[in-house]
Each structure stands twice: as C-alpha cells, then as structure tokens.
Structure 1
Amino acid sequence: MNTSSTTASLRDGTPFISEYQASERARVISNVDYQLTFFLSEQSQFRAISTVNFELNGTAKNLTLDLNQANIISMIVNGSKIYPKYNGSYITLSPSLLQSGQNTIAIEFTREHSTNGEGLHRFVDPVDGKVYLYSHFEPAAAQQMFALFDQPDLKASFQLNVHAPKDWQVISAMRESSISAQGNDNVWVFPASPKLSPYNFSLHAGPYHMWQDNSGPYPMRLFSRQSVTEQVTPQDWFTYTKQGLYFFDRYFGIPYPFKKYDQVLVPDFLYGAMENAAAITFSEDRFLFNAKMTASQKERLAGVIMHEMAHQWFGDLVTMKWWNGLWLNESFAAFMGTLATAEATEFTHAWRTFYASGKQRAYELDSLVTTHPIEVPVATTQNAFDNIDAITYQKGASTLNQLSHLLGKETFRQGVKQYLTEFSYQNAQLDDFIGSLAKASNRDLSQWTQEWLYKAGVNSIKAEYTCANGMISDFQLVQRAVSDEFPTLREQKVKIGLFYQRQHGVEEHQTAVVTYKGARTNVSELVGAYCPDLVYPNLDDWGFVKVDLDQRSMNTAKQALNKVHDPLLRSMLWQSMWDSVLDGQAPLNDFINVALINAPLEQDYTILGQVISNLLRAKEMLDLMAPANKQYADKVSRALSQMSLRMTMEHHKNSDFQRRWFSAYVSLSTQSDPLKHLQQLLTGTTKVKGLVLDQDLRWDIIRQLNRFDYGNAYALLQREKMTDTSDSGEKAALAAEVIRPQAHLKRQWLNTIEHSQAMPFSKLRVAMFNLYPAEQNLLSAATAEQRLANLIELDKKGPVFMRSYTQALIPRACSIDNITMIDQVLNTETGLSKLTRRALLETRQNEYRCINIKQLVKPQ
C-alpha cells in the first residue's frame, strides 16, 4: 500500500477538493448522469431528490459525493437504504455498497437557499414581495444545490424535474418537454442535457417576465424580475445576441451547440455574468438603468453578451480539465468577445475600449510583486479564483491577440476550430489547445508557451534612434523587464509608426512591422526615414507590452495631443502620460495640466471616458495624501469641477457626452459651491439645459452630498429612500448612508460588515466599498488597526467575502506608518489565506507608489 497517496486522497472535512483528490475520483468514475427533482416554493428552504448514476472502474477507497449543508432525509445506494456517513460537506461512500460497473445513488434532502450569490440563491423583491431563485455554481457550488461529483472533468448529462408555483417560469440548459399541473404547482420536465461540467449546468425559477425573439438562427429568450421590466430594453439584447450567434457560427465553423439561447437578469449577482450552458445569467447591478442606456453602457452590454456567448463553445462545449485551465476559458472569451463586438456590432472601436480599460489593469497587476504567470497550479477548489484577475482575463486575451498576429488571423482561427472539433463535449488541457494551433501553423510553439504562459511579468519597449542631417541613421527597439524579479524577455510582432507635426495635425509618414525578441532588435528598414517628431513602437496595439516614449515623442505628445487624429494612438499617448506618473517619471501636476487643456477638446467618447477615469484616480491620490499638498489639492478640485460643469453645459445637444461630463462633475464636486449647485439641481431650484436627472443620477448626487455631509443631505437621503423602494434604491440609499463622515456611524457599519449574519452579502458589499472614501483618511485611520487585526478571523468567512473585504477595507493612507502596520500583519499572521496575503502585498506596494508620487507633486 502507498500510504502517502492514501493520505493525500483523504479529504479534510471541508467542501473543497484538491486536484489530486479530484483526479483520483475521475480515475475510477465515468459515464455520470444525474436525474434531479426539485420542489421549489417561496419558502427559504427547498427539497430535492438527487439521483446519481455512474460507472465504477476498479476499487474505490475514500470515494466521496459532494453535498453541502443539507439535511438528508433518505439515501439509497444500489437499492439499499442506508444511513449516510455525512459531515455537512460530503458523503463518504462505503466500498462495500458499491459494485464494479453501474451504480445508482438516490438522496432526498432539504436545504436552506443561499443568500450570498452561490448555490441556489433566493431573493425577495422589496417592491412586490415576489421570490426569485437562480443558481450559480462556479467554481464548485453545485454541491450547495444537489449531490454530485463536483469537479469539471466529470462531465455528465442532467435530466431535470421541477415542482414550482403556477405563476413561475423555470429555466435551465434545455427547453422543457412538458409542463403539467399538480395541485397548486406546475411540474416542469426537462430532457437530458448534453454532457456538461457541473458548473455549467443551471436552474433559475420564479415569476420572471419573459421576452421572446425567433428572428435569429436559434430561439432567444430574455428574463427579468417583473418590477424592473421598464428598465430592460429587450431589442438591444436580442440584436446583439443575434449578431453574436451569426458571428460565432461563422468564426468557429461549428453550429451553436445548444438548442436555444436564454439570458436571465438576476439580482445580488457576484460577477458581471456567467456562461451557464444556454441559460446565461447577468448582473442586474451592471445592466439595469433608470434612463436610456448611454453609448458606453450599450457597448458594455454587447461586449458581455459576446464574452458569455464565446464560452458556449470555449468553456461549455470544450471545458478545461481542472481549474488551472480556467484562465484559458476566460482569456479566450475576453479575446473573442472583443473581436465579435468589434466585427459584428456597431461598436467597431471595441479594441480601443479594451486597451483603455481592462488591458491597463492587466499592465498594472503584471507590474506588481504579486504578479503571476497566466498558467498557474491550483491546489484545491478553494484556490480556484485566487488568480482570477486582469492577468487571467485581459493579459491572457492580449496574449492570444498577439499570437493571432504572429501566426496570422486565419491560421489562428483554423487552429481554434480544430481544437473545438476534436474535444467537443470533452475536457481538455492547455497542451491540447497549443497543439491545435501548432498543427494549424506548422510551427513549434513550445518556446512561446514558456515565455508567455509560464513566466510572469510585463516588458516595456522603447525606440532608441539617432538622426543625422534630418534622417534616421540608426534605429533599435529596446526591450526590458519592468521588474528585476521577473526578467523574461519575450518575442512578439509589433508595428512601429513614425509621425510628424504638420500644420493640420500629427501625421503618420511611415510604418514598419517588426518581430522583436531579446534586449535589442535592429530595425534597419527605418534607417533613412525623415527624423520623426513622434515614434510609437506598438502602433495599433498588437502587442502586450508597455511603451516607454522617448523624450522627443513625449514632448510632442504633450504639446500636440489634440492634433493626433488617430484615436487609438491618441488614447495610447494619454496612457503614456498617465503611466509616466505611476512609474514616478513625471509629477502628477504634468498630467493634470495636460488634461485641463486637452480633455475639453476631446471629441472621442471612449477616450474621454479614459481621461476622466484617470483624473478621478489623480484626485483620489491627492485626497489620500492629505493633509500634504492640501492647497494644491483644493485648487485641482476646483479646476476639475469647473471644467466638468462647463463641458456638461456645452454638450447639451449630445446626451452621451453630457452625461459623461456630468457624472464626472458629481464625483469631482467636493467644495461648498459645486455641492450647493448639486443640491439645487436635485431640488429643482436650478437646471442644466438638456440634462435629465433620472433616478440613477439623483442617487449619485445624494451620495456625494452625504459624502461631505453638505446642507440637508441626510434629509434628502431619507426622502429619496421613501420614493425609491426598489432593490437598486435600497442599495443606493445604503451607499449614501454608509459614506457619511461620522465616526460612530463608521464603527457601527464596520461591526455590521464583519459580524452580521442577517444582511445579504450583496448589501454588505455595498457597505464595504462606501465605508472609507479616500478623503476620509482620518476616519479610516481610527479603525485601521482593528481591520488589520481582524483579518485572520475574517479569513474564515471564505473567498467570496474576502475578495470584496480586502479590496475595500485593507487600509490605504499613502504613509509609511500604514506600511509599517501592513508589514506587522504580513510578518506575524502566517495563517492568512493566499488571497488575503496577496491583497496585503499589493496594498503595500501601492502605498510605496503613492508616497513616491506625493514626493514629486509640485505645489502650485
């Protein structure tokens, strides 16, 4: 007997399973199918019967069946009724009850519904009291709803029967085959699904409103709560969905693998959306609005629809074997979602949006001490989401994008098609995907795989060139590792652009496509060109690499930014100026001064959003630095709010631009004059031409007034709370109350966040992110030690809670004292989870960065 492997296969009593334990289970289990019957009602508890059919191949010691926090009524194994060996996380199956070949286990149980967004989540609509249920299983929460082998490589078919109230809809991976009355309920019967990983199966039930559209290649349905139907624009959803289905059918060369396409808007959702097979869930918080959708909101909707649709092939049809492969699912969906949005919808600039938002977050994370390779081991299901971040999504997507440039777009597409065809309804690994691309391109990709997927860190490139007699005499691309700790230099293909200042703008004169690698690459084709005013070495954003502008190019960018006609290049130049602040190469003042001159001239909606976002970050940094530079911070605040109001008024004929500028005005209003103006707008004593204050904007203003406790802000909050009793209204009111600058209130809410058992997690999360805005640094300091001291205990609440808590409530103060406190925790609390420890390390590094930026600020 191998005692070490026997010990390793023993589980620890928690719901989590290790990769080794899962592989051992998959070694002896095959041909799984589930017959599931649910008895659903408006009550807080549900009853279910979970029948598991499977083949056992060989002996099965320590075999477990996952079922989380259930009250088991009966258990029958191969016809024999038994008393289960159950610890609240899983059932240990006695080998004597199992047989080689076919086995059947039937378990009847009851369980409380979840309220944290996992398992079978229950939500009571505050408007009309109606109850809505939806499931969320990723990474391993199906066990919170039924008994199963909860791991991705044990794919199974799911046959479903649901008893539910007669006014309810029931939605799952398949369309129901029958609905029949039985007493006060309807019984919904669903045929067996194709083979799916458990986390891709789903069940949603409640009195959902339904829209239908059969004009596309597959029948489409959209569902929402009844009380929010006026906020849904079904035509937009169906238009983008139809465009995506046509696009992906063509791109993959494989028809959509499921028979119908359902999308469900759900409350309290943990993420943006989830790719359940043929029954995709979307977060209400991100996709329901109280006014006509803005251009950016529509683009986000289209992009997320495309992202989840890409998963139907890449993730659902072909699924990773274990959670270390989750990055490939998400990277591919992020890449394909952006590609489809750009090529199949009106948002042809989607790659620019990708560059300005998610890709920048990936660059930032990849520059931190906590960066990680794209492909990393995942020890247990508890760690499945430890590294699910912008490196997983946007760096991975960028890596795939530059690989498609390196191999050629059609070759890349053929490789993807081969992969999906070969592994349909199966599980696959990274080598399978890379092997398909290597075969299609007839190229060895092992070195590329090592450099890009198994090595961490980001590189930068810089153009180094000399000119003689007005001509380039020498031109090199210089690559370096941003961090000495992650020294890998990589190969990729980029386009270099040379630009010249002319009377009517900054114009492109010459480009060169270069595949570079190593520290220096000669670019001989540019020798002899006219000496440029600006060089951009990653034109059109093919590569995943930070651009370090040479000094001549940086000067041109600052002087002639509004004369750069190419919007992607202009976006990149804006980003280079912001990066120079973050990297400590230029004072924050420089960026703010350039923005005050150029932001009002910006006519591109996407770039304007990028610039405003960075200005808000600049303002947050200045607030964290207080009381240092207070006089300058007040001056900046006044200038930015005045600029935002002026542009709000100027754009009265363009609602998208006006709303973008007005939202900035609300966020940048921190002094008495603009706050007084906001209060007057809210009460209707003054107006801005063209601006309609919908419910979302009203709450934004109320939150800002309460943030600074201006005037009768609290009374306005109470009045609005009575007017808007919706779920989104409750959360907005909560945000406005929590953000008020009162010490006793902060302590009360911190206690609620850390100890409440009753408040839904979705509301606790709102409280977390509104408790300590940057300018309330003294109030934050008052509880900073307590929050750090409580981390070890809070860690026991698990990754869902801690992902939000660590983002929102690890203290930030832009000070050495705060760094010392964080160091103390890191050095003494050795039992912290990987997730929490990583958050502390990142906060500490960002504190050092903030201090460096503070030292460079020039009082003005």
Structure 2
Amino acid sequence: MNLFKASLVALTCTVLMSCATQSTLNTGPRDASPYISQYQANLRSEVISDVSYELDFQLTGETEFTASTKVNFRLSEVPKELSLDLNKAQIKRFMINGTAVYPNYNGAYISLNSRLLSTGSNTVIVEYTRAHSTNGEGLHRFQDPIDGKVYLYSHFEPAAAQQMFAVFDQPDIKAHYQISVTAPKDWQVISTMRETSIKAVGASNRWEFPQTPKLSPYNFSMHAGPYQVWQDNSGRYPMRLFARQSVAHQVPPEDWFTYTKQGLTFFDNYFGIPYPFKKYDQILVPDFLYGAMENAAAVTFSEDRFLHQAAMTAEQRQRLAGVIMHEMAHQWFGDLVTMKWWNGLWLNESFASFMGTLATQEATEFTQAWRNFYASGKQKAYEQDSLVTTHPIEVPVATSQNAFDNIDAITYQKGASTLKQLRHLLGDVVFRRGVSHYLKQYSYQNAELDDFINSLAKASGRDLSAWTQEWLYSAGVNTIKAEYRCEGNRITEFSLLQLPASADLPTLREQKVNVALFTKGRYELRNDVTLPVTYQGERTEVKQFIGERCPDLVYPNFDDWGYVKVELDDKSFDTAKQHLSNVSDPLLRSMLWQSLWDGVRDGKLSLDQYLSAVFVNAPAESDYTIVGQIISSLLRSKEYLAQIAPMQQNYANNAIKGLAQMSLRKTMESRGEHDLQHRWFNAYIRLAADRDSLRHLAQLLDGTSKIKGLTLDQDLRWAIITQLNRYDAPNALQRLTKEAAKDKSDSGIKAALAAEVIRPEAAAKRRWLSRVHTDSLPFAKQRIIMESLYPAEQKLQSAATAEERLANLREMDQKGPVFMRSYSQHLIPTDCNYTSIAALDKVLDSQTGLSNLARRALLETRQAEQRCVLIKNTMGH
C-alpha cells in the first residue's frame, strides 16, 4: 500500500509505546472486538492449515449484499477456543462439519464449537447479509451523483476482509479463494483471477471464477459495478483498466498501459521470476482511503489522486508511473511473499517504495525519479525521524488494531532509503541476487525480517546482524558534518563527524557516502574531487583529501547515497546562501536548498533570511523538481507567517504578497513550458492572500483577465474558488454556488464542500465541527471537512472551538483508527505560542486512556508548536 516494529525481544521503549504495552500482549480470550492480538493470531495459525474459501455473493446495488462463505481447513489439534472473523453481519444459516447450529456470534467473530471440530479436515458454512461499508473498508458502496449508477470495490488492509466474508483474518493464514458472483447484467466483476464463465440468470449475470493461488486475506479482492473497461493485450500479460463511466473521459489509458508494460518487463527481469498472476487489472475507485492498494492482480487506485480534468502535467504523470511501479513491486514482495504479522508491514512498503522508484528511474522517461524521491519523500522521512515520536523501522504490533500505528514516512521513505544505501554497501548485483533468492525460496509463503536479511547475507557473504541492529532496530536519523583545516589553500586535515540523533538515541551507524569538494569559479561552483567514503563511529579521517585545494563548499552526501542529515560547515553554508544559482548539478542544488530550509526549521537561519534567499535565487531556477521543492517550502513558510502574525503582521503580509507576485511573474514567464507554468500557477493560487492577488484570481475566473498559455480547467477553477472563499473575497460565496450548480460530479461536490467549509465564518465552523463530532456525514465528506476547517490564518475561528476539540479527543478516539488519523492530523488545536503548548501538555497528562495513535498525534503537534515558537522567536535575528 502507497500512503505513513521490532521482534518481541526487549528493546528500548519509544514514546509511542510503553514497555508495559510492548510486553503485555493479550494472551487471554478475545475481547469481543474485531481485532486480534499477535499472540492469539499465532495460536490460531499454529493449528490451522490448508485453508480454502468458497465465496458466493449476491449483489444488487442496494445498500446490503447477501453472501455465503464455505471455509475448508485442517486442524493439527482441536483448540479450546477458535474464532472465525465476520464483522457486523446478519447470519441466516451456520453449519460446522454438516451440523446446523446457532452461531456463538458477537458481531465481530464467531466462536466455533470445539466439540463439532475434529483433527484433520473441517468445513464451516456461513450464510449472511451485511450492509455495504461506506468508510472505504470492506466492500465499499458508492453511488455516482451524476447518473445514479452504483459501484463497489473491496479494501481489506490491514484486517477488513471480515467486513465482507467470514475469514481467518490474519496475514499468515494464506488460502485459496474461489468466488462466484451474481450481479446486474450491465456490471463488470473483477477479482484476482479472470472469470471462467458469465451466464445469464434472470435479470442478472452469474460470474464464476477459478481458484486463486495462495494469498493472505488482505491481498484478495473483488470489485463490481458498471465500470468502463479498456484492454491492452500487446504485452506478455493481458492488462485491463477500469473506471466509473461518468469519469471515463478523464482517463488516459495509453499512459496507464505504457507504464504498466514497462514495469512488468522491468520487474520480470530484475527479480528473475515471472509475474506471479495471470493478468494485470487496475481499477480507479472513489472515496479511497489511500493512494492505491496492491490487491493481487486487481490493483485499486484513488480517483482523487489520479483523475484530472486536463492533460496530465509531468508531475502528475510521474506520480502515476511511480505508484503503478510501487503497487506492482508488491505483487512479488507482499503478495507472492507476505509478512507473517503486521510488524513486517514496513518491509513490504519500504521495499515497494525503493523498487518503485528504481523502476520509475530505469524503465520510464522519468530519469530524475531519485532526485524527486530526495526532494519529497526522503525529506518527510528525515522530518518524521527527527520527531519525539520517532521509532525503529521494525517495532512490535500488539494487535491488528495497531497495524497502522507506525505506518508513516519512516515505514515508507526511511525504509526505502535504508535499502538504497544497503544496495550501495553490498553492490547492485549482490543485492539483486539476494532479493531474487528470497522471493524464490518463500514464494506463496509467509516470511519474516530475518529471512530477508539472511538471503542478502548469504548472497554477500557478509554478516549483516550489526547492520540490522543499527538500522532497523534503532530509531532516529544521524547527522554528518565535514571538519577540515587548510594551510596555504591546501587541506591539511579532513574528517567526517557523525552526530547521534539525540542523547536518548545514541546509535552511530556505518554507511557509504560520496563526499564532494567544490571551489568557486567565475560562473559556477567547480567540483574538484569526489570520493566514496565508508564511515562509522564519531569520527572518520579521510586522508585522501589531504593536499587537495581548500574548498569553498563541502557536501558529504553527494549523489544522496546515504540516509543521513547533512550539517554544512559555516563556510559551506555561506557559499550555499550566496551562490545557489551557480551550482550546475541539479541534485546538489536541491540538497543545498534543503540545507537552507533545514536551517529555518532548526532555528539556525531566520525565516526572513531564508525568504530573502528565495527572492534572489528562486526566479533563476528552471529545474522542474527543484521548483516543486522550493514551492513546498514557500507554502510552509506562508503557514508559519500566518501563525506568527500579528507580532510581525506587516512583514508577514508583505512577504506573502511578494511570494504571490513572484509566483505570478514566473507563471507568465513560463508560458512556453506547460508543466513549469502549471506548477507556478498552482503556487500562485495557494499563495494569493492579499486583495490585489485575490481580485486578479477572480478576474481570471471571469475571463476578464488572461495569462498567455494557461487554460483554466475545472480543477483550477475549483482551486481558485476555494482560495477566494478562504479569504472571503467579494462575491466568493456566490461564485461557489454558481460553480456547484454547473459541476455536479463527485469531485465537484467534494470541491464545493471544501470551499464552503474553509470560509472564515465562526458560526458555520461550529456547525461543521458538530457534523464531524456526531457522525452525520459519510466519512469521505467528514475527511474533507476536517482537512478544510481551520487553515493556519484562521486563528480566532480555531481558538473558538479549541477547548471543545481537546475535550472531545477521547470520544473521537473511540471512532477507530481510520477516523482518528484524519481527526488528529487536522483538528488538534495549534496557535504557535506557549499557551497552546501548555494546553497540549495538560491533555497528555490527564487523558491517559487515549490510543497510541492519538497520543502520538498529540506529541507531534506539541513538537510542531515548539518549532513554530522557535521560528517566530528567530524572526529578524
């Protein structure tokens, strides 16, 4: 899965999970919830084997579906307690080994009567009805507001298959699935296998599918509805693409099929194992919780992220290619070979992130994919890994409810970066050989981290136990810094210093980096020498540099081999500030921009000094990836400036206006470069906050003003309308109402909702917040409300409900992890001052019953507030 665990040995406890939590896994009977502990899952998998499911679904498009599950399995012994998961169903008939009995069912799982079970073969049959899900899990139902057509899709990760059928819902009980579906005649039905027959049965069609290979429950899927279908059989494997009929005009199938074919060829060759399934289907679906999901041979993608009103920009095409590659890598690493328990989920996601980027770089036109990874994903990992809630890559997962507690940039991007530097350490050929051996040895089975590491160790002939301990079981990101002396313009001493993440996280690591020295030339910084260095410990001397010309800039992680933060020495930092536009190497330029932004976040460079560097250097930047990186920092700067006001009100207003004007100027100058122009114009919309910029946006919307080379598609129109309403520009609400009357699509309804919620009206904010608190809307709309309710500059509106939101936190936490992830990210109050920090302290001290996920969010919000106060205090210094 695309969006953000150690073995159960004693490890240093992080703030996320106390030692008590780590060592007291539930060993008693299940607690009547739909979640299962690792201990209970282990007990179940120890006695169960040879599982197969025969699934039959009656689908009508109404709010409920009817189904039956026949589970065949073997028991090595009859346990005292054995449960079969099935969530919120109405059971109509229940049989164990041919005997009809009344089910011992609590709404979450069925407790099987051990007296009716036997050693050896067993069969359980459950016939039931169930409401379709509406929160993106289980068998989700969506009705298209344009034409009224109903679409279904399944999503099971981490443990939501039980919301669709009776199942032993844990990854290490792999099974064969055979599915039959009765559905309306105009529907498509998509699953892991291609159907063997479609027969008319009255007003419906009966779809029969062959048995699947062995899969974990979360990798199986079924999707149904009147989907538009495109096919391409020009490659080694038949490919199909599906989307709702009303959005089919927004789908460029040629792009999807091109990247898919490129990926399948690349992975077949890289892994040395043919694609393990018989066809490759991809389905665009609405209301999706994440970016995409690696269901075996039937991958789902979020419409919100991959449907566009106009031709895709380079950024959008690269994102599509990258996510296709990520999910495709999972077909081998995740579906073919699957982790035994959810503590191994990080390896699935890290590996797919690493391989997805590698495939994008080497198999598509996006040859700068690793640069893009550095500028976006890797920075998220560094940021996450620098928080008080940092955690090892591998940590325990007590129950299936906790599976996603630590799914974050450490899981995805730090893990991917770690694998990338391990590949540099071992060499590409050795790394590839170890991966191939692992996939061949554990095909259609479950495996653990040690199995993967042992495969790489065997291929390399190297003991990787120390590496594993340093990188996978120890939290935090280290920092490296060059320390050197010069005499007579020549280097006399040179060392790399390695700093621990903190006093509480003292681990120092070994890795291989590229160290580069630069001197100032007339027009550019010259790269005098580059040297690969394997460093470890506090200090590593690099004697090879002695005698080289004294550099003006040293960059100790050139080419981004290592996972490590770089602290520039004072001379290099000054050079970076003054000569950014003279750096010809785009990756180095990207890294130096990042060093300046890191200086702001660490309190070493004031925000106003950073923005001064932006106004001087950003207009000269033409690299698409770096422009995106700069814009990202400008949007963050705008948030800080909004929070810093009114203390620096005049400066904040003038700076934001200056950024908007710069973005507009770059938009106009880039008219011959569609992608760059589009990127700068999007920035202009989001930076526009002053009266003149907002008036200009309104004129563009009305057509009374134009920008050469730019056409406003529906996505851009909604972005402008949202911004106008955010600042309550003249006639903004009327524009919203008029646009909503024209665009009645699902995306239009959601955009109109966001634009209405973001308006700075205190009474309306309270009403919207009440709708979030009372569950009166589908989750897809609740999520939009949460994201839009309190932008940074609406401090008074946020403060008006801050106390209520903190008081309701525990009640909101009870709604479960899917809800809480959005709530905690957007609705924990912030105000960039010590009073706000104290309020968060009070909640952390008093509300002891919060989930790990909620406490983590509070801790991270408090740290973000502390950072904001630091940035505010350094302004003007």
- 1:613-670 Cα shifts (integer Å, max 9, x gaps): 0011011011012211111101101111111111111111111111111111111110
The one-letter code of the counterpart of 1:438 is A
Please say if 1:794 is aligned against 2:812. yes
- 1:381-433 Cα shifts (integer Å, max 9, x gaps): 00000000000000000000000000001100000000000000000000000
Gaps of 5+ in 2: 1-22
The equivalent residue for 1:221 is: 240
The equivalent residue for 2:534 is: 515
Distance in 2 between residues matched to 1:712 and 1:480, nearest whole Å: 55
The equivalent residue for 1:809 is: 827
CA contact (8 A) 2:333 2:352 kept: yes
Distance in 1 between residues matched to 2:90 and 2:706, nearest whole Å: 59
The equivalent residue for 2:202 is: 183
> What secondary structure is seen at the aligned counterpart in 1 of 2:27?
helix
CA contact (8 A) 1:9 1:20 kept: no
Please say if 1:822 is aligned against 2:840. yes
Percent identity over paired residues = 65
The one-letter code of the counterpart of 1:390 is A
Residue of structure 2 aligned with 1:241, choices 260, 263, 268: 260
CA contact (8 A) 1:9 1:62 kept: no
What RMSD in Å do the two structures reach over aligned CA positions?
1.0
Please say if 1:592 is aligned against 2:611. yes
Please say if 1:261 is aligned against 2:269. no
Residue of structure 1 aligned with 2:512, choices 493, 499, 513: 493
Please say if 1:283 is aligned against 2:293. no
Residue of structure 2 aligned with 1:708, choices 727, 731, 734: 727
The equivalent residue for 1:174 is: 193
Distance in 2 between residues matched to 1:91 and 1:353, nearest whole Å: 48
The equivalent residue for 1:775 is: 793
Residue of structure 1 aligned with 2:175, choices 134, 156, 159: 156
Q: C-alpha displacement at 1:566, in angstroms?
A: 0.5
Summarize the Cα distance change of 1:808–1:493 in structure 2 as closer, same or farther, 3 Å threshold.
same
Distance in 1 between residues matched to 2:833 and 2:301, nearest whole Å: 39
Distance in 2 between residues matched to 1:8 and 1:73, nearest whole Å: 32
The equivalent residue for 1:730 is: 749
Please say if 1:834 is aligned against 2:852. yes
> What secondary structure is seen at the aligned counterpart in 2 of 1:262?
strand
> What secondary structure is seen at the aligned counterpart in 2 of 1:386?
coil
TM-score of the aligned structures, taking structure 2 as reference length: 0.97
Distance in 2 between residues matched to 1:314 and 1:347, nearest whole Å: 23
- 1:487-545 Cα shifts (integer Å, max 9, x gaps): 11100000000111112311211011111000000001111100011110000000000
Distance in 1 between residues matched to 2:330 and 2:732, nearest whole Å: 45
Q: C-alpha displacement at 1:7, in angstroms?
A: 7.9
Q: C-alpha displacement at 1:582, in angstroms?
A: 0.4
The equivalent residue for 1:64 is: 83
Equivalent residues in 2 for 1:213-612 (5 A)?
A: 213-612=232-631
CA contact (8 A) 1:38 1:48 kept: yes
Residue of structure 2 aligned with 1:637, choices 643, 647, 656: 656
The equivalent residue for 1:111 is: 130
CA contact (8 A) 1:472 1:526 kept: yes
The one-letter code of the counterpart of 1:722 is A
The one-letter code of the counterpart of 2:744 is T
The equivalent residue for 1:194 is: 213
Distance in 1 between residues matched to 2:489 and 2:95, nearest whole Å: 87
Distance in 1 between residues matched to 2:502 and 2:329, nearest whole Å: 34
Please say if 1:856 is aligned against 2:857. no
Q: C-alpha displacement at 1:59, in angstroms?
A: 2.2
Equivalent residues in 2 for 1:4-43 (5 A)?
A: 8-43=27-62
Q: C-alpha displacement at 1:575, in angstroms?
A: 0.1
Distance in 2 between residues matched to 1:443 and 1:135, nearest whole Å: 43
Q: C-alpha displacement at 1:556, in angstroms?
A: 1.0
Residue of structure 2 aligned with 1:92, choices 78, 87, 111: 111
> What secondary structure is seen at the aligned counterpart in 2 of 1:473?
strand
The equivalent residue for 2:14 is: none
Residue of structure 2 aligned with 1:667, choices 686, 702, 705: 686
Q: C-alpha displacement at 1:14, in angstroms?
A: 0.1
Q: C-alpha displacement at 1:756, in angstroms?
A: 2.3
The equivalent residue for 2:7 is: none
Which region of structure 1 is more displaced relative to structure 2, 84-93 or 683-692? 683-692
Q: C-alpha displacement at 1:217, in angstroms?
A: 1.3
The equivalent residue for 1:694 is: 713
The one-letter code of the counterpart of 1:10 is P
Which one scores higher on RCO, CA 8 angstroms, separation ≥ 6?
2
CA contact (8 A) 2:78 2:117 kept: no
Please say if 1:130 is aligned against 2:130. no
CA contact (8 A) 1:373 1:456 kept: yes
CA contact (8 A) 2:437 2:455 kept: yes
The one-letter code of the counterpart of 2:822 is S
Which region of structure 1 is more displaced relative to structure 2, 144-153 or 581-590? 581-590
Distance in 1 between residues matched to 2:721 and 2:694, nearest whole Å: 10
> What secondary structure is seen at the aligned counterpart in 1 of 2:476?
coil
> What secondary structure is seen at the aligned counterpart in 2 of 1:48?
strand
Equivalent residues in 2 for 1:63-82 (5 A)?
A: 63-82=82-101
Distance in 2 between residues matched to 1:853 and 1:335, nearest whole Å: 33
> What secondary structure is seen at the aligned counterpart in 2 of 1:541?
coil
Q: C-alpha displacement at 1:9, in angstroms?
A: 4.0
Q: C-alpha displacement at 1:243, in angstroms?
A: 0.2
CA contact (8 A) 1:9 1:24 kept: no
> What secondary structure is seen at the aligned counterpart in 2 of 1:8?
coil
The equivalent residue for 1:165 is: 184
> What secondary structure is seen at the aligned counterpart in 2 of 1:36?
strand
> What secondary structure is seen at the aligned counterpart in 1 of 2:248?
helix
Residue of structure 2 aligned with 1:844, choices 836, 858, 862: 862
Distance in 2 between residues matched to 1:450 and 1:270, nearest whole Å: 33
Distance in 2 between residues matched to 1:700 and 1:638, nearest whole Å: 18
Q: C-alpha displacement at 1:482, in angstroms?
A: 2.9
Summarize the Cα distance change of 1:26–1:513 in structure 2 as closer, same or farther, 3 Å threshold.
same
Runs of 4+ in 1 over 3 A off after TM superposition: 4-7
Distance in 2 between residues matched to 1:741 and 1:77, nearest whole Å: 59
> What secondary structure is seen at the aligned counterpart in 2 of 1:373?
coil
CA contact (8 A) 2:89 2:130 kept: yes
The one-letter code of the counterpart of 1:780 is S
The one-letter code of the counterpart of 1:319 is T
CA contact (8 A) 1:257 1:317 kept: yes
Q: Name the count of aligned residue pairs.
A: 855
The one-letter code of the counterpart of 2:871 is I
Distance in 1 between residues matched to 2:829 and 2:562, nearest whole Å: 35
Q: C-alpha displacement at 1:141, in angstroms?
A: 0.1
Summarize the Cα distance change of 1:63–1:721 in structure 2 as closer, same or farther, 3 Å threshold.
same
Summarize the Cα distance change of 1:430–1:713 in structure 2 as closer, same or farther, 3 Å threshold.
same
CA contact (8 A) 2:25 2:398 kept: no
Q: C-alpha displacement at 1:48, in angstroms?
A: 0.3
Summarize the Cα distance change of 1:476–1:296 in structure 2 as closer, same or farther, 3 Å threshold.
same
The one-letter code of the counterpart of 1:509 is D
Distance in 1 between residues matched to 2:546 and 2:80, nearest whole Å: 70
The one-letter code of the counterpart of 2:157 is E
Summarize the Cα distance change of 1:819–1:189 in structure 2 as closer, same or farther, 3 Å threshold.
same
CA contact (8 A) 1:117 1:136 kept: yes
Q: C-alpha displacement at 1:598, in angstroms?
A: 1.1
The one-letter code of the counterpart of 1:820 is A
